A = this chain, B = another copy of it.
Amino acid sequence: MSESGLELRAIHKRFGDNHVVRGLEIALEAGEIVALLGPSGCGKTTALRMVAGLETPDSGTITIAGQTVKSDAVDLPPEARRIGMVFQSYAVWPHKNVRDNVAYPLKLAKNGDAGARADRTLELVRLGGMGDRFPDTLSGGQQQRVALARALVAEPKLLLFDEPLSNLDAKLREEMRHEIRVLAKQVGITSLYVTHDQPEAFAVSDRVAVVLDGVIAQVAPPREIYAEPASLAVAKFVGRLSILEGVERTGEGRARVQGFELPVTSATDAQSVVLGVRPEDVRLADGGIEGRVTRATFLGERTELEIETLAGTLRADVGRSTPVHGGGTVHVALDGGRLYATPSH
């Protein structure tokens, strides 16, 4: 096994009656980027803050780069954990200029060369020459890059991100998530990245950990988590999903719905199953399942259809040249899907 970057073991945390984190376990290799992806309120931020030492777990062990920072016996304060953290609200200090913001961790470490190293880190995040400006003269994206530089500059063992991009607008968000990944990889730093935006989690990470209700429902690389979600809940949270009922298995790796047979994978051995289908596996095709287009939303590069069939509502994407209109009848073929145990209501 390769070197350990971060390990959480059996972490629990309650706020009063609210059992927020319920036995969270995860291990990151050194240099790995893992995204914690989950719905609002599932405990992602709490988990991250416990790693940082900003919140104290009720029980469990946290190890950063082989050093135990929190266990029954040990409890290092945040400043002793050698981490860097990037906050949603940037948390750039308004009373320090950009260089002083970035140089601060170095100054604390009594690094004589602080100014120069801060400038080099600023180059890295493409803010070269902005060292003398004050944060209130910077755009949101620039402020977030200052925060990033500040988190990186002292070469911490671990980088923590709490939804660093959700205050930025869509275009900037896309640019920055790429930048963050490139930087973290370039520096080779272990990173834990909290977000509730699935494309962001996929774009930024080596592995995605889906957190549901205070436990990790699945950890896997993006492709795997997308193609083979462990449960219906994970599948729903990771990308768009249509659910069809009245499905029967017709053999190993095959199932039939509405008389239409298709290749499937399976998340369950149960007999009573539903079929989860991704929009890109739905094609308009003669001879497929019949359905009525209840909504067609032109979004530019694709048009999103909502198709009502007898088995359930399907979401499909079609190119802009495909002539479909709300209300029309279409036939769809399914290229694949995954079977899940029928959820009990």
Which residues in A have some Cβ–Cβ distance to B below 8 Å? 40, 169-170, 178, 196-199, 202-203, 222-223, 226-227, 238-240, 278-280, 295, 297-302, 317, 319-320
Contact = CB atoms under 8 A, between A and B. Distances in A.
A203 B169 contact: no
A95 to B, nearest CB: 25
A238 B178 contact: no
B178 A295 contact: yes
Contacts of A298: 202-203, 222-223, 226
A169 B300 CA distance: 21
A44 to B, nearest CB: 13
Contact of A199 (B196, B240, B295, B299): B299
Q: Chain copies in the assembly?
A: 2
A6 B275 CA distance: 48
A303 to B, nearest CB: 9
Interface centre among A227, A239, A301 (most CB of B within 10 A): A301
Contact of A280 (B222, B239, B320): B320
Contact of A196 (B169, B203, B226): B169
Given A40-B169, A169-B196, A203-B297, A302 B320 contact: no
Given A169-B40, A320-B223, A320-B227, A239 B301 contact: yes
A85 to B, nearest CB: 22
Contacts of A279: 301
Contacts of A203: 297-299
Given A169-B40, A169-B196, A280 B301 contact: yes
Nearest to A203: B297
B178 A300 contact: no
* 3 A-B pairs closest in CB distance: A239-B300, A199-B299, A280-B301
B169 A297 contact: no
Contacts of A170: 196-198
A178 B239 CA distance: 18
A222 B300 contact: yes
A304 to B, nearest CB: 8
Nearest to A238: B300
23 contacts: A169-B196, A169-B197, A170-B196, A170-B197, A202-B298, A202-B299, A202-B300, A203-B297, A203-B298, A203-B299, A222-B298, A222-B300, A223-B298, A226-B300, A238-B300, A239-B300, A239-B301, A240-B301, A278-B301, A280-B301, A280-B302, A280-B319, A280-B320
Nearest to A182: B295
